[in-house]
Amino acid sequence: MTSLEQLRSAMRRAGVDALWISDPANVRALSGFTSGKDGKVLVTQSGATLYTDARYTVQAAGESSVPQFIARPPDTYAHAAPTLGGQRVGIEADHLTVAVLDDLRAAWPDATVVPVRGLVQGLRVRKDARELAALRAAQAIADAAFAQVHPTIRAGVTELDVALELELAMRRAGAQSAFEIIVASGPNGAKPHGVASSRVIGEDELVTVDMGAQVDGYHSDMTRTVAVGNPSAELRRMYRAVLEAEEAAVAAVRPGVRAADLDRLARDLLTGHGLGEYFAHSLGHGVGLDIHEGPSLRGTSEDVLESGMVITIEPGVYVPDVGGVRIEDLVLVTDHGYEVLSRAEKDHL
Ligand SMILES: CSCC[C@H](N)C(=O)N1CCC[C@H]1C(=O)N[C@@H](C)C(=O)O
């Protein structure tokens, strides 16, 4: 769990005395309360309180590592008000709505409410042993589900059939799906976020499967592109180029590497194959309590890899009316390099 002391240091550096935490994953990271979307945490320099409502009285008492106050707004805000007089109170700019910001300013007239960014997220980028165990368990469940369902991906079945079988396998293994599973076949492969549809998979197509499991709130994320029959020479060429870019980027992972340089490495390789313009998203992202979290592996990122980070490496190419390929591994940054956590086999075209 993210340390309150580390957070208080980050708060001081950001110039705030207190922090009102409303991002569900941050609420969970700080308190252990698993229904983060129905909770808030107030951290001051001397204390911390979890606010949630009466539906969660028993659950919060069992889960939370910080004292709880059971109420709904505006009683929640009224309870916090006396503690915050004369203080600079940070709110999470990436999460709080303008309406709630108005409510907080009205409820805390003696405080100065200021938007801050990424204070708790910054403490979440490096995973501890407990978090790593959950991430490994989630990935192992996803790998097993993929191994079970891979042989059933063939002409005549729908994308939805594949997604449902994957989800069932993960649920049976005790995990939830980390996100709506992507199964994109044939021309649908040109949509990076094409969720499974009723399209029937055809002969000689590529099928992109992007899936993950969720264990104890921690997500895994992996993509495999599967060949059905004998895909065309053009599709094979795309596949080999993406595999080359993916393997090269994974091999370059180590502490101290700039995330933007990894994105550049993969992008340049694809450009060398004439496919750079079809790589429509960033190379990857951190994974944890959120499916997308820091570090960001995009060209404009200032992030530098550190050991303990868990990231995806997922180059892809998406050619309208033709199809697409994405290959993604979940990778732990270790003290001297990397460990690939995703084990599912890759097709070799
Ligand atoms: C709906 S969660 C999608 C998980 C997936 N593995 C993923 O992260 N994707 C799929 C294609 C691109 C990539 C993504 O969404 N990247 C984000 C961070 C971006 O803005 O590039």
Mean pLDDT of 135-160: 98
> What 3-state DSSP class applies to 304?
strand
Give the whole-number percent of the chain exceeding pLDDT 90: 98
Q: What confidence tens digit (pLDDT) does each residue in 75-92 have?
A: 999 999 999 999 999 999
Closest CA to 309 of 126, 124, 128, 122: 126
- Residues near 260 by Cβ (< 8 Å), separated by ≥ 6? 297, 298, 299, 300, 301, 302, 303
Strands 18-21 and 213-215 come out as unpaired
pLDDT of residue 135: 98
Mean pLDDT of 64-74: 97
- Write down how long the chain is: 349
Strand locations in the chain, DSSP E?
18-21, 39-43, 48-52, 68-70, 88-92, 112-116, 176-177, 182-185, 205-211, 213-215, 218-219, 222-228, 284-286, 293-297, 310-313, 316-319, 323-326, 329-333, 338-340
In angstroms, what is the span from residue 318 Cα to ligand 1's centroid?
Answer: 13
- Higher per-residue confidence, 255 vs 3: 255
In angstroms, what is the span from residue 33 Cα to ligand 1's centroid?
Answer: 27
Q: Name residues contacting ligand 1 (CB within 6 A).
A: 179, 192-193, 210, 221, 223, 281-282, 285, 291-292, 314, 328
In angstroms, what is the span from residue 182 Cα to ligand 1's centroid?
Answer: 10
pLDDT of residue 312: 99
- In which band, very low, low, confident or very high, does the pLDDT at 125 lie, cut at 50, 70 and 90? very high
Mutate to test the pocket of ligand 1, among 188, 282, 303, 329 (most ligand atoms within 8 A of CB): 282
Q: Which CATH superfamily is domain 129-340 in?
A: Creatinase/methionine aminopeptidase superfamily (3.90.230.10)
CATH architecture of 4-124: 3-Layer(aba) Sandwich (3.40)
Helices 129-149 and 159-172 cross at an angle (nearest 10°) of 130
pLDDT of residue 347: 84
Q: What confidence tens digit (pLDDT) does each residue in 269-317 have?
A: 999 999 999 999 999 999 999 999 999 999 999 999 999 999 999 999 9
Q: What confidence tens digit (pLDDT) does each residue in 95-120 have?
A: 999 999 999 999 999 999 999 999 99
pLDDT of residue 277: 98
- In which band, very low, low, confident or very high, does the pLDDT at 127 lie, cut at 50, 70 and 90? very high
- Which residues does residue 226 pair with via DSSP β-bridges, in sequence order? 207
Q: What confidence tens digit (pLDDT) does each residue in 327-347 have?
A: 999 999 999 999 999 999 998
Helix (H) or strand (E) segment spanning residue 85: none
CATH 3.90.230.10 positions along the chain are 129-340
For the chain, give the mean pLDDT.
97
User: 């539906």: which residue's tokens?
Assistant: 55
The Cα–Cα gap between 134 and 214 comes to 8
How far from each other are the two terminal CA atoms of the chain, in whole angstroms?
43
Strands 182-185 and 205-211 come out as antiparallel
Cis amide bond preceding 82, omega within 30:
no
Number of the ligand 1 atom closest to the C-alpha atom of 296: 18
Interface predicted TM-score of the whole assembly (ipTM), two decimals: 0.98
In b/e form, how buried is each residue of 73-111, taking b as 16+ CB within 10 angstroms?
Answer: eeebbeebbebbeebbbbbbeeebeeebeeebeebbeeb
pLDDT of residue 349: 87
CATH 3.40.350.10 positions along the chain are 4-124
In angstroms, what is the span from residue 210 Cα to ligand 1's centroid?
Answer: 9
Phi/psi region, residue 15 (left: phi>0; alpha: psi -120 to 50; beta: rest), is left
Q: What confidence tens digit (pLDDT) does each residue in 211-227 have?
A: 999 999 999 999 999 99
Residue 10, pLDDT above cutoff 70: yes
Q: What is the DSSP string of 165-219?
A: HHHHHHHHTT-EESSPPEEEEGGGGG-TT-B--SPBPPTTEEEEEEE-EEETTEE
pTM over 0.90: yes
Helix (H) or strand (E) segment spanning residue 22: none
Residue 2, pLDDT above cutoff 80: no
At 196, list the tokens: 């499974």
The Cα–Cα gap between 35 and 57 comes to 12
